[in-house]
Structure 1
Amino acid sequence: MAINETLKFSWGHIIAFVALIFISYVSFMGITYLTDGDFLYAGLGVLIIDLVLIIFFIIPQILKGADEKFSRKIVFERILFFSAPLFFIAVMVPYAHFWTVFDNRSQVETTFSESIKTTKGMFESYEAYANNRIKEYDKKLAQNKTEIVHRTNEVEALRLQLIADNYDALKESAVKWIDNASGATVWNVFMIGNIKKIESAIENWNNSLSEFSGKIMSDEPNGVEPFSSSDPSVTKAKENLNNLRSVYTTMGTPSMLAIGIGVLLYILLLFPYIIQSRNTKSTFRLIGSEGDSYTPKRKKAKKTSKIDRPEDDMTFSIEDDSSSNEGDYGSFTM
């Protein structure tokens, strides 16, 4: 990395984004279980979680690599960095809830599988109902001494109504779906976390069977009724699914697995900040600051005070004293 370069994308960012993706998916599952299959809330929740994590883990890295306005940016950097643990714990609640569901995965998966398989009994009950109804109709026609040809046609018409191609197609698709869903795990939140859809599917199958049996032949025995919409297998399946719902919508204490992985994810999210170097012009640090570089100045020589000396004031002059000399010596006369 070049000196004083603000990292825009690096191997540290790759690691952080992988951690972010993992947190996003696990949180999505956690919110889905908490809201009993509300995928819209789960999606919006994940967007908020991602935004918070980007603000508190990526923005500090950008502020750390700033090349201007150091005194202002270090304030925001410190606020975001030291607040990050609190916000991280807050947004990781859905993440932790998924691991609570994961700890109960044996109960959740077993209950779900048994509930789904129970619905197969609905088709078994319907076939028993249809065969018994056909049998009773044929028996009545025989008692009425109906012509054999007419009797055969009437019985066949009832059979086609009750267990014809429409029923076969419904049963085939339902059983195929049941077999595939029976192996679902807690990681497949679109299956286990969507109990409402499963209950709706069971009700639709049951309603379709009631419709197939809704038409009563005019000469059928008295007391014939359509297939019951409250078949015991349907009731049992719904009870099991309700019990399952109470398991995965109840929050619990975060497990050690959730805490351990959470700590690791926190460290991975810090990678961009860790590898980002601070601009060499900045004297600020995450905690405290360094003083400006200090170069001792050379001391100027002190000015010495001037000392007055007598000889400094002495002056020398030569004056012409010829006139005075004559007066001093006088004159010689002979």
Structure 2
Amino acid sequence: MELTAPTAMSFLDSVGRNSSQTRHTYQIGLFHFQKLLETKGHTLDTIIEPLLKNEISVYTTINDFVTYLIDSLRLSNSSIAAYVAAVRSYLQFYDIDIVIKTFKRKVKMPTILEEEEESIDENDIRRILSFCNSRRLKVYLLTLATGGFRALEACAIRNCDVDFTTNPTKVHVRKEYAKTKKARDVFISDEASKAIQDWIAFKYRHRKYTPTPTKSDEDLVFTTRVITPASPQQMYSKLREDFTRVLAQAGLEKRKEGILRRTITLHSFRRFVKTVLSNEVGQDYSEWFLGHKKSSYYTNKKSERAELYITKCMKHLTFLNYDFIKSEGKTIAADLSEKDKEIEQLKAQQAKMAK
């Protein structure tokens, strides 16, 4: 979706200074707006002057854009809202006034309807991983399913961001790629840690017929192009395509009603981690872990947070290490047996007291 209009490029460069993701979203919105303008004999450049002179109504233009998005593209209402916001911002960037009250009266936006997201559990994740033939994608999904990363955050992980010397393994999320623009450290399971180490060893293995790549701390973990590395955004697009194919093979390609978006996405792994952490430790812990706004009174020490992840969460975030799962099952069985003994002892004591 290339844009060549100078006005559009200046606007996108300005937007991109603070957020590359916002730039990408706005670029898609302007691309669709350009398609509509072409049907009216205009471009992103030429539409500015008649709008400034009120020769064309800005509200009618935006309303036509909404109609175009609804009739021509099968988009979710939230996507339509995002693309309309991009066009509004673009026009206001060039001093075209848009009065909010008038906009709401003349441009009827489709209502964003809330619906509960499709949940996934440990068995769903194991099924997805079992159909995953891509070595890189499998490691990437394990990382998402144990660290609760946003998809792009995981794509931006460098070799130097992973600390294998800590227990559990700690991964640094860079502020440039965090949605909140705030860096944080995240734990991953031993299984995911081992998978990442194996992937890195494979990626930098000795080649017999081609040049052996040189390892650098700045290399992105999940890139396969070490000589000419891809950007996190490029990797995300490729990994998402691969993930879509895996979902189809696993029979989990169901789509949301009326739109193209699937019920299971890469973000589903983040929701899964959030659920596990909330259930096993508590909401404050899960909010801290995922990088959400947390209570200022939640101030556990780093060592305590790590211990909570190891003892309460890791067993629910291990999917393919069956020896670990089996040992955890034995531990749980032993704990239950010990509890049964304690209950029997209490019953015996109560019986004696009753006599």
Is the TM-score greater than 0.5? no
Please give the range of the TM-score, normalised by the shorter of the 2 chains.
under 0.3
User: TM-score, structure 1 length as denominator?
Assistant: 0.25
User: Computing the radius of gyration over CA atoms, which structure comes out larger, 1 or 2?
Assistant: 1
Whichever structure has more helix as a proportion of its residues is 1
User: TM-score, structure 2 length as denominator?
Assistant: 0.24
